[in-house]
Amino acid sequence: MLAFISRSLRLKVSLGVCLVLIFLLAPLNWVQYELQRRTAMRELELLAASTSAIVARGLEESMLTNNRSTIQAIVDDAAQASGVRSIYLLTPQAKVAASSDSQHNGEQLDRTSAACQDCHQLSATSRPRGIVVADADGQSVFRTMTPIENRPVCHECHSPEDRLNGVFYMDFSMAGFNSRLERGLRTAFLGSVTIIVLSAVVLNVLLSRLVITPMEQVARGLHNFSQGKREARVPVQTRDEVGLLSVVFNEMADTIQTQEGEADRLYTELKDKDEIRRQLLVRLITAQEEERKRIAREIHDELGQLLTGLSLNLKLCQQAVPDDAQIVHDQLVKTNNLVGHTIEQSHNLITRLRPTVLDDLGLVPALQDELSRRLTPLGIDARLDAAGEMEQLPAEVTTATFRIVQESLTNVIRHANARRVRVQLQRTSDELIVTVEDDGVGLPDERFYNPDGRQALGILGMQERADALGGRLEVARRQSGGTSVTLRLPVERNTQ
């Protein structure tokens, strides 16, 4: 129930108004009830006092003539009045001289009983003339007590020292009094409930028309806008705060829609330009590799043959020179050694430009040769693991993979101070995953950037090669120590 109320502003406001009205009307009803009770009590007191005074005056006249039958008749007639429950004429000694229908005549009342202590515990001059007590049946009655003064005309029968000749009291039923109060309280309660219900209904209707419904329209507009409906707008129906909120929302929606349109346009342009850049980069890398391949072939075919011929001629000269020409022989030997070293360096240069084993045997043998040629002489334990079909890889994927692994090995040699290197190749249905891990010191943050804040050219080149083929390159530290380079290249798209 509370959860339902918490989700409805209309119910919250209506409930709040009802509570305010209840807190306001409840004290007002209680004050009204008290005023009515006191007014009715005063009217009852006046009625009882006047009735008792009239009856007491008649009893005094009959008491002067000592006419008991008349006294009894007056008591019986007074007992027939509406609301009178009982009548007693008491002597100063609390003995019943007369009662309605003579039921209690001659009885001696106990003034020390609890029923009499409400008055008798007070002094004679401060006792009230009327009081609400419970009768023998337990019902509330209003009891009036009228003292009969001992006047001089009464001294023939009563001692002049007596202050009173007796007391006349009447009990009036409180049933009618309480009934009127209950009807008044019931009427006030029903009136309050009617006011609360009508106020809640009227307020609910007004709130719905003036506040809740416009707020719900704003909420629906916000919800639709958040769900991607950028054309959602809120109708402006009023000039109050809710209307201002609608205007502000519509302006915000127009601004966001315009900015998103501009952002989409810029993103499309950037995406097109990035695709053009990627294509150009692919062409550039391809052209670079082709140029390296051409230069390596020309060095191998032209310079290699010339150096080989030169070395053969030097050997023939060395053999033709007599043994006694030792100086010439030694110079020819040095020259021949220099030519041999030049041939070896030319082969290394050819390998760096474009390893022939990559074109002749494929990616896995080329990487194995790279590990053996570069890491094994340095005492680094190098291992290559390959899983999956590697023979049908596209040429650009093979070249990019080899170059990225080659640059990773260069970083290991320069920075890692590693003892073990592991290269893993895994071919899946749609990508090639390459991982190069070492157990070295790892690359600190500053190794990834140049002093001017730009990313190091080696890693930047690796990332550009991966991006050009739609792949992803990650360089991270290993928890166990060292560095991990992970390359992911899509294969299926490039094989079509």
Q: What CATH number does the domain containing 24 carry? A: 3.30.450.20
H helices of 65-174, in order, are 68-79, 117-120
φ, ψ (nearest 5 deg) of residue 354: -165, 100
The SS3 of residue 198 is helix
Domain with 56 in it: 2-181
**Whether 306 contacts 356, CB under 8 Å:** no
Among 152, 181, 210, residue at a domain's last position: 181
Distance between CA atoms of 361 and 72, rounded to whole angstroms? 146
- In a domain, residue 472? The reply is yes
Q: Are 244 and 252 in contact (CB under 8 A)?
A: no
Give a yes or no: residue 123 inside a domain.
yes
Digit-by-digit pLDDT tens for the chain (496 residues) are: 555 555 666 677 777 777 777 777 778 877 777 787 777 777 777 777 777 777 777 777 777 677 778 878 877 887 777 777 778 788 877 788 787 777 778 888 777 766 666 676 666 666 666 777 777 677 777 777 777 777 776 766 767 777 777 777 777 777 777 777 778 778 877 887 888 788 778 877 777 777 777 777 777 888 887 888 777 787 777 777 777 778 888 888 888 888 888 888 888 888 887 777 777 666 766 766 676 676 666 666 666 666 677 677 767 776 766 665 676 667 677 777 777 777 777 666 666 666 677 777 888 998 998 899 889 999 999 999 998 888 888 888 888 899 899 889 988 998 888 999 999 999 988 899 999 999 988 766 544 544 444 446 678 888 888 888 889 999 988 888 889 999 999 987 444 3
Task: Pick the last residue of a domain from 117, 151, 181.
Answer: 181
Q: Which amino acid is present at 218? A: V
- Tokens at 135, concatenated: 């009768």
Rounded Cα–Cα distance for residues 122 and 44 (Å)? 23
Residue 344 lies in a domain: no
φ/ψ of residue 382, rounded to 5: -115, 135
Helix (H, G, I), strand (E, B) or coil at 95: strand
CATH code of 403's domain: 3.30.565.10
Give a yes or no: residue 171 inside a domain: yes
Number of domains within the chain: 2
Is 441 exposed, middle or buried (CB count within 10 Å of its CB: 0-12, 13-18, 19+)? middle
Taking the CA atoms of residue 463, residue 464, residue 467 and residue 471 in that order, the dihedral angle to the nearest 10 degrees is -40
Is 28 a member of any domain?
yes
Is 209 within 8 Å of 201 (Cβ atoms)?
Answer: no
Are 364 and 390 a contacting pair, CB within 8 Å? yes
Which residues fall within 8 angstroms of residue 101, CB to CB, at 6 or more apart?
76, 79
Strand 381-387 to 420-427 pairing:
parallel
CA distance 359 to 366: 9
Which of 119, 146, 181 is the last residue in one of the domains?
181
Separation between Cα atoms, residue 16 and residue 318, nearest integer Å:
116
Identify the H or E element spanning 437. Answer: strand 431-438
**CA pair distance 382, 375, nearest whole angstrom:** 7
User: Is residue 317 domain-resident?
Assistant: no
**Cβ–Cβ under 8 Å, residues 307 and 340:** no
Please give the model's pTM, rounded to 2 decimal places: 0.42
| Domain contains 216 | no
103 within domain boundaries = yes
